[in-house]
Amino acid sequence: MVEATIYVGIDWRGRLAERVVREAAAILAREYGVPLEVSVVEIPSDSRESESRGLPVLMVDGIVVAEGRVPSIEEVVDGVFKMLEAARGVGPAGFPVFDDGVWDVVEEAIA
């Protein structure tokens, strides 16, 4: 299971960011069968303090995906798939993910 943690201030950006991440989690579950566990950490701050602290911050499996702004749904979904690709070596369609070194070997073999 992939885990998303979003650190938010108590302002409109924080509420919107939480809503976006929860909507992305619903899409991931419904469309791709990928469960996303969402945790929200509220940091007491108003809108100005949130902005100066770089909130909201979205982390997917410990990696920062978005910081200081509300992420888009697509950005959250892409971040989850990047974590899955890195963890499993498999892309969303089930095909293996190759690093750049593999393509050098393939090009040499073809030439």
Taking the domains of the chain in order of start, what are their residue ranges? 2-110
Query: What separation, in Å, do the N-terminal and C-terminal C-alpha atoms of the chain show?
Result: 42
| Residues 77, 80: Cα–Cα separation, whole Å | 5
Hey, what CATH topology would domain 2-110 get? Glutaredoxin (3.40.30)
Tell me how crowded residue 60 is: count the other CB atoms within 10 A of its CB: 24
CA distances from 27 to 8, 12, 58, 66, 76 (A): 22, 23, 17, 19, 10
Q: Is the pTM of this model over 0.85?
A: no
| Residues 4, 17: Cα–Cα separation, whole Å | 12
Tell me how crowded residue 48 is: count the other CB atoms within 10 A of its CB: 10
Q: What is the pLDDT of residues 11-67, one digit of tens each?
A: 888 899 999 999 999 999 999 888 999 999 998 876 666 666 778 999 998 889 999
